[in-house]
Structure 1
């Protein structure tokens, strides 16, 4: 379970993002990390119960959590740490190209969760577009499902958009709106009060179940 202590640590890190501050509060980080490990382990149990591909991957909870240390080599922002915890559960592990389920934990209403494929490589994106164009009726049916629309009123979101249809597709393609997407993901935000309740993991599990058909559809084009 995520507690207010974890959100307080992230709030402090956000306001004073320095190595000195982090070292002074390392014990708080370790406690917060432990809570995220616990949440991830619970989510893995839930996801493995309905997604056999994830279950077969034998994921370690620690390997589903992104490092808190930022890569600042090519960034103008030299802040050394991320100010959130990010968990990604998918087939083959977070370094594989497959879509999956994620939760971002941050203070002050910055927490969100969803599923999909965010900013895929160009070859993978081509496969995703071909799958959507070739099976648009199925794609549309998945996004129109009542449970999906209930959990994600905004529908599927793009991680970037083309201005025109991609090469090889006609402007008359029924799937044109989605073919311009550079990625396919869903997102639902949670307030701090929701994140710190015992029911949070269960809410995430229900959210992940609702997006599984979309994740399965996308992964099918990637060899899943």
Structure 2
């Protein structure tokens, strides 16, 4: 295991150039930069955070272009998902814009969605989620996810938590940009601090609406 010393600023520079040169020849010519500035630092960071937050999946850098009109072969950001429960956990992304952290659940089966709506409807669990979301919003996180246009059938249109009931997935994220600690070992503590802010949302989902 490599010792984590920070995420090099070259990581953002790599993706800024990739946005203008998204082709195989450029990628192969700069693969060493991807390995040195993106892949290995993130692997070291995620290994260090795993005992507290769970195992990580570092997403492949290659796009699935089979059904997309955009045939650019490479993703213009490196993402990672950290979780002990399928589809529920913490997110980290590096791109030309710098760092982004997030957490929540990004997919739902019909059964999971039914559990989620039941929990949102219930005053105790639903009220707890509303307070979590309010706290995150007040702390600078953007709360989003896949949503219906209207409150789902079976619930009153004026439900006190109608906006939450519209959600099919629910997550919160924050763009951190390129803070001065990004290329230092302190980045591990900062990512952990933001993920701890997101833990109530993750824990609520695991308790009431796990897959």
Report the TM-score, using the length of structure 1 for normalisation: 0.81
Map 1:136-175 onto structure 2 (within 5 A).
136-145=126-135, 148-149=136-137, 151-154=139-142, 157-175=143-161
For residues 53-100 of structure 1, give each alpha carbon's deviation from its aligned partner in whole angstroms, at most 9, with x where no partner exists.
x3xxxx3x4xx11111111111011111101110110114xxx23x11
Q: Is the 8 A contact 2:141 2:173 kept in 1?
A: no
**CA–CA separation in structure 1 for the residues paired with 2:10 and 2:149:** 44
For residues 106-133 of structure 1, give each alpha carbon's deviation from its aligned partner in whole angstroms, at most 9, with x where no partner exists.
11x2521121012434442232222111
* Structure 2 gap ranges (5+): 1-5
Q: Is the 8 A contact 1:119 1:159 kept in 2?
A: no
**CA–CA separation in structure 2 for the residues paired with 1:121 and 1:75:** 24
State the 1:19 CA deviation.
0.8
State the 1:150 CA deviation.
5.3
**CA–CA separation in structure 2 for the residues paired with 1:4 and 1:33:** 13
Map 1:69-148 onto structure 2 (within 5 A).
69-92=62-85, 96-97=86-87, 99-107=88-96, 109-134=97-122, 135-145=125-135, 148=136
> Which residue number in structure 2 is paired with residue 25 of structure 1?
30
State the 1:46 CA deviation.
3.9
**CA–CA separation in structure 2 for the residues paired with 1:75 and 1:210:** 35
**CA–CA separation in structure 2 for the residues paired with 1:38 and 1:89:** 13
For residues 174-209 of structure 1, give each alpha carbon's deviation from its aligned partner in whole angstroms, at most 9, with x where no partner exists.
211110122211111112234334322211111111
Report the TM-score, using the length of structure 2 for normalisation: 0.85
**CA–CA separation in structure 2 for the residues paired with 1:212 and 1:172:** 29
1:222 partnered with 2:209 = yes
> Secondary structure at 1:186's aligned position in 2?
strand
Q: Is the 8 A contact 1:131 1:218 kept in 2?
A: no
Higher strand share: 2
Name the count of aligned residue pairs.
Answer: 202
For residues 128-168 of structure 1, give each alpha carbon's deviation from its aligned partner in whole angstroms, at most 9, with x where no partner exists.
222111222222233344xx4554354xx232322221122
Q: Is the 8 A contact 1:66 1:85 kept in 2?
A: yes
